[in-house]
Chain A
Amino acid sequence: MTAPAWVGRSVPRNEDARLLTGRALFVDDVQLPGMLHAAFLRSDHAHARLVRIDAAAARARAGVRAVYTAEDLGDYWQRAPLLVPPPPVPGLVFNEATQVPLARTKVRHCGEPLAMVVAESRYLAEDALADITVELEALPAVTDLDAALGADAPLIHEELGTNLAAHCIQRKGDWAAARAWADLLIARKFRYDRGASAAIENRGVVAQWDRRAEELTIWDTTQAPIPIRNGLAAMLGLRESQVRVVAPFIGGGFGPKIMMFYPDELLIPWAAMRLGRPVKWIEDRQENFYATTQERLQLHDAELAVTRDGKILGVRDTFLHDTGAYDPYGLTIPINTQCTLLGPYEVPNYESEFTVVFTNRPIVTPVRGAGRQHGVFVMERLLDFAARELGIDVVEIRRRNYIPPDKFPYDHGILFQDSAPLTYDSGNYEPVLREAADRIGFTEFRRTGQATARADGKRLGLGIVSYIEGTGIGPYEGARVTVEPSGSIRVATGVGTQGQGHFTTFAQIVADALGVHPEQVDVSTGDTRSFGWGTGTFASRGIVVAGTACHEAALLVRAKALKLAAEMLEAAEGDLQLADGRISVRGSPGDAVSLAQLAITANPLRGAVKPGTEPGLEATAYFGPARGNAANGVHAMIVEVDPDTMMVKILRYVVVHDAGKVIHPVIVEGQIQGGVAHGIGNCFYEQLVWDDNGQLLNASLMDYLLPTALDVPTVEITHRETPSPLNPLGVKGVGEAGAIPTGAAFAQAVEDALAGTGIEILEIPLSPSRLFALVQEAERTHRR
């Protein structure tokens, strides 16, 4: 094949015409004749025993078609499945407690659903919620991670006899020896707190049971339509072929939409079948603060052992992870933390121990970064403190510890979230760091820039940190590529799409293989009727796994087309070329046939298709990478801190990243810009605040601050391309990269701006008032 014509170019996006003119279908756009609307009664208490629930008055209200409590679900009431079994780490403890459709004996977090009302309108359904009488006997709430493990702590899941959800230790080398050898030990405690994923579109489900066709259609804001179909078919006693799940356009996924099964996902289809009418539920913004999963409270106690030259001898990290009231997602987040901490560095000795704790807060599952930011924060902060103690600059200490480019594949000696060894496929880290340092002007800033600004009364600070993003894990995805008789190409794949630009990037990949324009390639994602095999969109894997499947399927179609064309044109396949939708004989451009003609010829009405061949120009292919690959990058920012108000303004933000081969630069830049916005929100704006009773105190966008366009600078992005050897396109994922190292870079920059106050930043998120308190505390300690 010749050099790619389309991959690597920022072509106009295929989906934009639909999105910009309001023709794209979102779940809430689904309007069906006779459609009913659901609303959920949610617990006001974080931890309580359900004494009595009486829905008689609600059922009697005009316009109400049904009210369901746990008792009304009969056999359908069951615990949701465990989504990700823990990896086979020796000695690992995992206590499974997955969520239930409606609370039956007790509630375990605020907002846990107690009943569902189905009525002629959402208005009526919400009114009817007030008619339900619930008697809850409040129990003491478990909110503190340390106290949760105490002998006298109230139990969230009595049957487990403990609030411990999991315990895991991974080791390599000999930490104790490294510690003994060290010239310098840095020991600190860190905190990384919870936020909401805050997608612009909340979750929603619409279900319709077609009595005549005996088919159930579900529109769901899920990132995983195929597993939703498979699970619901099993639970509802239907064949998988009777259930169609459509995940149409979705306004942001970010991880919580890969979670399943949410109570609403179980109950809306069930109610639609029972009532014989379509049922719709759209989550409102306040519900989203309770009914959609969140991340990311962890408390770390970590030590770094280094030589006087700043070479890492080892790291020990012990942390507590808050999983909320249930643990359906297994250990993905804490394992990610454990693995990502190692970053791009050679760490010969490592001891990482984590304990996962149940609390009376909503469920924790991955949100963009999925535990990676904690690991990066701990490691990068430890390196910052070591650099300061040793008088080495923050760039140099990182450079000295990078895995050199000749050591790939590099095995870190522990297990990753996909249960495969944590082995980095490829990378070249030093040039990334150098370029980021140059672009942000590190040397000049240190030499004169910061001091000059300081003389003008401005407190500027610079932060520069590295990260690894493990991406593109298995098990597999598939794609079917079809040349239609019109000559246009149809691609169907199972992953859902939530704004990643799949309609364009998959089209570019296929267009290159088939010699057509990407506009001629029509991509279908997230509809189980179009393609029924696959797992979903998570772990920055869409382009790596589904993109490669598209590539492989397109190559099979290309081979079919060339074989057929060779017969029609009476030429050797090697003499044929494929371009502009036509196959022609090299040197004889008049001898040509279009893909459209080939598609028609390949599907004859008479004659005989030869044994061992297939009709049509169509092929399906699957791709399952042996393991995930490792993207990497460096984030650098310059901030200005107002010493009076402690407001932080980000003046510049530089990202140099390497996610392997770039398919569409602008889409990748959009992912990074959006990720950084998410990261900045996490650093300085967004924090879910809970009281000791498990009450969320800021469940609205008035009090839960999202960063706006005024707070997020335009990110200056440079792409570097070290291809992944684990797939033929050489691609790695990039969906989470922007959000991962932001906290570490922000902490370093703000601390730098406040140098002289003695402040050390050991926590994220920050806020002006929190920074003010930290500075006061540091100044008090210094005076002492």
Chain B
Amino acid sequence: MIVEGVYVFTAPPAVVFEALLDPGVIAKSMPGTKELVAVGPHEYRGKMMVGVGPVTAAEFDLRIVLTELTPPVSFLMSVDGTGRFGFTKGQARVSLEPDGTGTRMNYNADLQVGGKIAAVGQRLLDVVSRAMLRSGLEALGKEVEDRLRGVGGKA
């Protein structure tokens, strides 16, 4: 499954980039994430609840690794989730460029989904992932704006 798109932040790239490396922000931008802790440099582990169609609230053990970091321009995010109802595995390339006073973010992810969640949730997987992405980006946008205004601060 390929997920790609563009999102525009009101904050400059440096602020967005810093926010994107913060596990608290990552957790907020991935709906269903219950906890996410750093276990190494740019490596995070946590748990995430996902519901797709007949698979309601499946818990995934989540591992996220950020590599190829070029602040404040781009990085590669590898996601590995395994749980009782299947797995998800993939990589997302995230790149930022100035857009006026704000930032234009391009993302392109290639996601593999397997097991029960793919087998019985397939019809809804696309819809669910789009909905998750939308609410995730909205949360991310809000977080970045808060940072820009000096509220929220470090999560």
Looking at A138, A697, A698, which has the most chain B CB atoms within 10 Å of its CB?
A697
Interface size of A by CB at 8 A reads 20
Instruction: Name B115's closest neighbour in chain A (CB-CB).
Output: A44
* Chain A residues whose C-beta falls within 8 Å of the C-beta of B86 in the assembled complex: 44
Residues of A at under 8 Å CB distance from B? 44-46, 110, 129-130, 138, 286, 289, 689, 691, 693, 695-700, 702-703
A695/B118 in contact, CB under 8 A: yes
Question: Does the CB pair B84–A286 fall under 8 Å?
Answer: no
Q: Are A698 and B119 in contact, CB atoms less than 8 angstroms apart? A: yes
CB-contact partner of A44 in B54, B87, B123, under 8 A: B87
Q: Do the beta carbons of A138 and B89 come within 8 Å of each other?
A: yes
**B residues less than 8 Å from A703 (CB atoms):** 120, 122-123
Residues of A near B152 (CB, < 8 A) are none
Q: Known: A44-B87, A44-B114, A693-B112. Is A699-B54 also a contact (CB below 8 A)?
A: no
A130 B54 Cβ-Cβ under 8 A = no
A429 to B4, CA, bound (A): 60
- Known A289-B119, A698-B119, A700-B119: A130·B114 in contact at CB below 8 Å: no
> Which residues of A lie under 8 Å from residue B115 when comparing CB positions?
44, 110, 695
A697 to B124, CA, bound (A): 11
Residues on the A chain within 8 Å of B114, using CB? 44-46, 110, 693, 695
Write the nearest CB–CB distance from A52 to chain B, whole angstroms: 13
Interface of B, secondary structure class, is mixed
Residues of A within 8 A of B87 (CB): 44-45
B139 in contact (CB, < 8 A): no
15 A–B pairs (Cβ distance < 8 Å), ordered by A:
A44-B82, A44-B86, A44-B116, A45-B87, A45-B114, A110-B119, A129-B84, A689-B122, A691-B118, A693-B112, A695-B113, A698-B119, A699-B116, A702-B120, A703-B120
Q: Assuming the A-B contacts A44-B86, A44-B87, are A286 and B116 also in contact, with contact meaning beta carbons closer than 8 angstroms in the complex?
A: yes
Chain B positions 99-134 with a Cβ under 8 Å from a chain A Cβ = 112-116, 118-120, 122-123
A130's closest neighbor in chain B, by CB? B84
Measured CA separation A700–B119 after assembly (Å):
7
Q: Are B112 and A697 within 8 A (Cβ)? A: no
A699-B118 Cα distance, complex, nearest whole Å: 9
Name the one of B54, B82, B118 contacting A697, with C-beta atoms under 8 angstroms: B118
Is A695 a contact of B119 with CB atoms below 8 Å?
Answer: yes
List, in ascending order, chain A residues with CB within 8 A of B112's CB. Answer: 693
Hey, which chain A residues are within 8 Å of B118, CB to CB? 691, 695-697
Given contacts A44-B115, A697-B118, A700-B54, 17 further A-B contacts (CB under 8 A): A44-B114, A45-B114, A110-B115, A130-B84, A289-B119, A693-B114, A695-B113, A695-B114, A697-B119, A697-B122, A698-B119, A699-B116, A699-B119, A699-B120, A700-B119, A702-B123, A703-B120
Q: Interface residue count for B (Cβ, 8 Å)?
A: 16
A44 nearest in chain B by CB position: B115
Residues of chain B at the chain A interface (Cβ within 8 Å): 54, 82, 84, 86-87, 89, 112-116, 118-120, 122-123
The one of A45, A130, A286 in contact with B119, judged by C-beta atoms closer than 8 angstroms, is A286
Separation in Å of the A636 CB from the closest CB of chain B? 36
Give 9 closest A-B pairs by Cβ, nearest first: A44-B115, A699-B119, A697-B122, A700-B120, A130-B84, A695-B118, A695-B114, A44-B114, A44-B86
Query: Please, which residues of chain B bring their CB within 8 A of the CB of A45?
Result: 87, 114
Given contacts A44-B87, A110-B114, A695-B113, contact A702 B119 (CB under 8 A): no
Complex Cα–Cα for A212 and B15 (A): 77
Q: Are A286 and B113 in contact (CB under 8 A)?
A: no
Q: Which residues of B contact A44 (CB under 8 A)?
A: 82, 86-87, 114-116
Closest to B117 in A: A44
Contacts of B84 in A (CB 8 A): 129-130
With contacts A110-B114, A286-B116, A693-B112 taken as known, whether A698 is within 8 angstroms of B122 at the C-beta atoms is yes
Residues of B within 8 A of A693 (CB): 112, 114
Q: Nearest-CB distance from B115 to chain A (Å)?
A: 3
**Residue of chain B at shortest CB distance from A131:** B84
Contact check: which of B54, B89, B113, B116 meets A702 at CB < 8 Å? B54
Most buried by B among A44, A696, A699, A702: A44
CA distance A767 to B123 in the complex (A): 16
Closest CB in chain A relative to B82 CB, distance in Å: 8
Contacts of B122 in A (CB 8 A): 689, 697-698, 703
Residues on B with C-beta less than 8 A from A689 are 122
Q: List chain A residues, Cβ under 8 A from B119.
A: 110, 286, 289, 695-700
Task: Write the chain B residue with the least CB distance to A691.
Answer: B118
Instruction: Give the CA-CA distance A697 to B115 in the complex, in Å.
Output: 9
Minimum Cβ distance to chain A for residue B54 (Å): 7
Which residue of A is nearest B85, CB measured?
A: A44
Chain B neighbourhood of A698, CB < 8 A: 119, 122
Specify the chain B residue showing the minimal Cβ separation from A697.
B122
Q: How far is the CB of B49 from chain A (nearest CB, A)?
A: 15
Chain B positions within 8 Å of A700 at CB level: 54, 119-120
Residues of A within 8 A of B54 (CB): 700, 702
A702 to B55, CA, bound (A): 13
Which of B84, B86, B89 has the most A CB atoms < 10 Å from its CB?
B84
Whole-angstrom distance between the alpha carbons of A689 and B54 in the complex?
Answer: 18
Residues on the A chain within 8 Å of B116, using CB: 44, 286, 699
Measured in the bound complex, the distance between the Cα atoms of B119 and A45 in whole Å is 12
The distance in angstroms between the C-alpha atoms of A44 and B118, with both chains bound, is 10
Query: How far, in whole Å, are A92 and B116 apart by their CA atoms in the complex?
Result: 39
Q: Within 8 Å CB of B89, what residues of A?
A: 138
Among A110, A695, A702, chain B packs the most CB atoms within 10 A around the CB of A695
**Distance from B116 Cβ to chain A, minimum over Cβ atoms (Å):** 7
Inter-chain CA distance A700–B121, complex, in Å, is: 9
Q: How far apart are the CA atoms of A46 and B84 in the complex, in Å?
A: 16
Cα A695 to Cα B114 with chains together (Å): 6
Chain B residue nearest to A700 (CB atoms) is B120
Q: How far is the CB of B47 from chain A (nearest CB, A)?
A: 14
How far, in angstroms, from A702 to B54 measured CA to CA in the complex? 10
- Between B54, B112, B119, the greatest number of chain A beta carbons within 10 A of the residue's beta carbon is seen for B119
**How far in angstroms is the closest Cβ of chain B from A41?**
10
A110 vs B120: C-alpha distance when bound (angstroms): 14
